[in-house]
């Protein structure tokens, strides 16, 4: 038995006496001499404004590098504070002041690899010529010179490290698993953000197997709303203006805001819900740094936030996004957004783009037998029925034809079996609206009408092709 592991055992025994629960959770292996500044050689750290993914990655990295000391930046995310208040001791986190940086020969950085995002007290390491730098990051860009990069664009950084932990068959405790899952869920929006990969979901499965506690997770993920957010939200609503643009209500709010505020996007989402607008944009101006942060949220697919934000130099998803604009006037930004929304209208997908035409239809006097044959031949699941004037009088589906039992019914006209109250949609409506109709009425095809005449038909598969972005060019 080496001296270290013996001391470690004594240490554990002491802890066991203090708290049986913590020991059952088997704390991190800890170098007994790391308390002494002189012996520290490896440190692991993460970005300022530390969020759950960053903390999870920091803690997880100490499992891969047991001799590295976790150093947490002085500035952590607001919603991490209640968690740290309870778990700080369990994770044995050090601050940059606890470490003699002259002694550090290996720097492990997780969830970032930019010097500007590290605690400024660690900047002295930048000058060390033979510093070994190991990086675990899911952001592609960074300016830290890396000797050992582990960089891949996963939904959360913790996913990358968990992959290594699983590969090395390192055991993790339920407390660790819970922290890792909070980080994973926060960075992937509960696995819903488009950046989420299969690997992220696999990692979530692994953590649940390792007894990650979902109740604890939910209680910490909810606490993002702080007093500061309430004040900003109040200000936003007070300064809100709503305009009508292309048939949609769009809310705008322009605020002066200095410094960085966490989770502003959440406040913008609440703002949109409260003012009950189809879309909402908040423009936060930082007068000191002369820049504007624009955050947008949309609840209608005609207003595509990612398109608008990309035009402003930012990015996002159809429902949510942001852009950072230097030296701009909020009034001008608002005008640009209004213009982009009216432009969006013309480029958004119309029903006529996704519908099928010409429409295969049958006359109301066609016999049931013939209709069955046509449907079988075309491999479709139903079709519209018209009269002599080519007016839509009904629709027939395989479901209707199942009602035909006796063979003599097969010579009857189809109008006896068709569904008469046909749900139709105007050609000016959107794909989302036709999808809503299909769900509401449980129907698989909706004729598209223009000036009373049927010009096409939209089927479930047309809608699916649209939503999965598989429309042919
Ligand atoms: Mn992250």
pLDDT tens-digit profile of 190-204?
A: 898 778 899 999 999
pLDDT tens string 212-234:
988 888 878 765 567 888 899 99
Centre of ligand 1 to C-alpha 271, Å, is: 26
Structural tokens at position 248: 């949609």
pLDDT tens string 244-262:
988 899 999 999 987 777 7
Centre of ligand 1 to C-alpha 407, Å, is: 66
The pLDDT, as a whole number, for residue 171 is 95
- Domain-by-domain residue ranges, the chain? 33-223, 227-348, 353-467
Centre of ligand 1 to C-alpha 218, Å, is: 18
pLDDT confidence of 277, banded at 50, 70, 90? very high
The pLDDT, as a whole number, for residue 263 is 74
The pLDDT, as a whole number, for residue 261 is 76
Please compute the mean of the pLDDT values over residues 54-62 and round it to a whole number.
Answer: 97
pLDDT confidence of 52, banded at 50, 70, 90? very high
Same fold, 227-348 and 353-467: no
Spatial separation of the C-alpha atoms in residues 153 and 432, rounded to whole Å: 31
Please compute the mean of the pLDDT values over residues 118-133 and round it to a whole number.
Answer: 93
User: Which of 102, 46, 115, 101 shows the shortest CA–CA distance to 77?
Assistant: 46
Query: Longest Cα pair distance anywhere in the chain, in angstroms?
Result: 98
Q: Where are the alpha helices (DSSP H) in 39-167?
A: 52-64, 81-91, 157-167
Tell me the CATH number for domain 227-348. 3.10.310.30
- What is the edge-to-edge ordering of all strands in the sheet holding 68-71? 68-71, 42-46, 106-110, 132-137, 148-151
- Are 150 and 136 within 8 A, CB to CB? yes
Structural tokens at position 5: 């592991």
pLDDT tens string 163-186:
999 999 999 999 899 999 999 998
Q: Which residue shows structure tokens 């002369």?
A: 290
Centre of ligand 1 to C-alpha 159, Å, is: 10
Centre of ligand 1 to C-alpha 47, Å, is: 9
The pLDDT, as a whole number, for residue 25 is 37
Centre of ligand 1 to C-alpha 417, Å, is: 58
User: Which of 198, 209, 204 shows the shortest CA–CA distance to 158?
Assistant: 204
Spatial separation of the C-alpha atoms in residues 358 and 362, rounded to whole Å: 13
pLDDT confidence of 65, banded at 50, 70, 90? very high
Q: Is 272 helix (H, G, I), strand (E, B) or coil?
A: helix
Tell me the CATH number for domain 353-467. 3.10.580.10
Centre of ligand 1 to C-alpha 285, Å, is: 25
Would you state the torsion angle of the CA atoms of residues 185, 190, 195, 201, taken in this order, to the nearest 10 degrees?
Answer: 80
Centre of ligand 1 to C-alpha 75, Å, is: 16
Centre of ligand 1 to C-alpha 200, Å, is: 12
Q: Is the pLDDT confidence value at 6 over 50?
A: no
Centre of ligand 1 to C-alpha 179, Å, is: 13
**How many Cα neighbours within 13 Å face the side chain of 384?**
28
Spatial separation of the C-alpha atoms in residues 55 and 73, rounded to whole Å: 10
User: Which of 239, 243, 153 shows the shortest CA–CA distance to 200?
Assistant: 153
Centre of ligand 1 to C-alpha 54, Å, is: 6
Centre of ligand 1 to C-alpha 71, Å, is: 17
- Are 135 and 146 within 8 A, CB to CB? yes
Q: Is the pLDDT confidence value at 294 over 90?
A: yes
Number of helices and strands (H, E) in the chain?
A: 17, 17
DSSP letter assigned to residue 459: E
The pLDDT, as a whole number, for residue 30 is 45
pLDDT confidence of 40, banded at 50, 70, 90? low
Centre of ligand 1 to C-alpha 301, Å, is: 28
Centre of ligand 1 to C-alpha 191, Å, is: 13
User: Which of 167, 174, 169 shows the shortest CA–CA distance to 199?
Assistant: 167
- Close Cβ partners of 406 (under 8 Å, ≥ 6 residues apart): none
Centre of ligand 1 to C-alpha 281, Å, is: 25
What average pLDDT does the structure give for the chain?
Answer: 84
pLDDT confidence of 36, banded at 50, 70, 90? very low
Q: Is 165 helix (H, G, I), strand (E, B) or coil?
A: helix
- Are 136 and 157 within 8 A, CB to CB? yes
Spatial separation of the C-alpha atoms in residues 153 and 199, rounded to whole Å: 11
Structural tokens at position 400: 């209707």
Centre of ligand 1 to C-alpha 73, Å, is: 15
Q: Is the pLDDT confidence value at 13 over 70?
A: no
Centre of ligand 1 to C-alpha 45, Å, is: 13
Spatial separation of the C-alpha atoms in residues 98 and 123, rounded to whole Å: 15
Indicate left, alpha or beta for 290 from its phi (over 0: left) and psi (-120 to 50: alpha): left
Q: Which CATH superfamily is domain 33-223 in?
A: inorganic pyrophosphatase (n-terminal core) (3.90.1640.10)
Percent of the chain with pLDDT over 90: 47
């Amino acid at each position: 038995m080496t001296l270290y592991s013996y001391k470690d055992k004594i240490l554990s025994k002491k802890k066991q006496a203090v708290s049986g629960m913590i020991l059952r959770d088997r704390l991190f292996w800890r170098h007994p001499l790391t308390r002494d500044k002189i012996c520290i050689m490896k440190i692991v750290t993460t970005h300022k404004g530390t969020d759950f993914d960053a903390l999870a990655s920091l803690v997880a990295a100490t499992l891969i590098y047991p001799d590295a000391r976790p150093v947490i930046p002085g500035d952590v995310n607001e919603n991490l504070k209640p968690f740290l208040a309870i778990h700080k001791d369990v994770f044995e986190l050090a601050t940059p002041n606890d470490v003699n940086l002259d002694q550090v020969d290996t720097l492990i950085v997780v969830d970032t690899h930019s010097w500007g995002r590290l605690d400024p007290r660690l900047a002295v390491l930048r000058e060390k010529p033979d510093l070994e730098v190991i990086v675990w990051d899911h952001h592609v860009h960074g300016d830290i010179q890396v000797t050992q990069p582990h960089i891949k664009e996963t939904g959360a950084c913790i996913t990358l490290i968990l992959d290594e932990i699983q590969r090395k068959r390192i055991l993790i405790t339920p407390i660790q698993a819970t922290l890792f899952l909070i980080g994973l869920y926060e960075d992937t929006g509960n696995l819903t953000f488009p950046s989420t990969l299969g690997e992220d979901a696999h990692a979530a499965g692994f953590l649940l197997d390792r007894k990650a506690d979902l109740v604890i997770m939910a209680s910490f993920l909810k606490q993002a709303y702080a007093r500061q957010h309430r004040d900003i939200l109040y200000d936003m609503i007070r300064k809100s203006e709503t305009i009508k643009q292309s048939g949609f209500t769009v809310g705008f709010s322009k605020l002066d805001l200095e410094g960085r505020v966490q989770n502003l996007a959440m406040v913008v989402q609440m703002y949109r819900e409260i003012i009950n607008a189809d879309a909402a944009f908040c423009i936060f101006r930082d007068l000191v740094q002369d820049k504007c942060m624009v955050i947008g949220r949309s609840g209608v697919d005609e207003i595509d936030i990612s398109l608008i934000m990309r035009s402003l130099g930012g990015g996002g998803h159809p429902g949510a996004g942001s852009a950072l604009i230097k030296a701009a006037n909020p009034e001008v930004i608002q005008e640009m957004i209004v213009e982009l929304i009216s432009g969006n209208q013309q480029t958004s997908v119309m029903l006529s783009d996704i519908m099928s035409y010409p429409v295969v239809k049958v006359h109301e006097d066609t016999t049931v037998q013939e209709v069955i044959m046509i449907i079988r031949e075309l491999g479709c699941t139903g079709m519209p029925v018209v009269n002599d004037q080519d007016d839509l009088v009904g629709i027939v589906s395989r479901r209707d034809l199942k009602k035909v039992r006796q063979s003599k019914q097969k010579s009857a006209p189809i109008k006896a079996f068709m569904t008469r109250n046909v749900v139709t949609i105007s050609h000016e409506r959107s794909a989302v609206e036709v999808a809503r109709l299909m769900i509401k009425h449980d129907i698989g095809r909706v004729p598209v009408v223009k000036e009373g005449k049927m010009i096409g038909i939209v089927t479930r598969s047309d809608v699916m092709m649209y939503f999965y972005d598989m429309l042919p060019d």
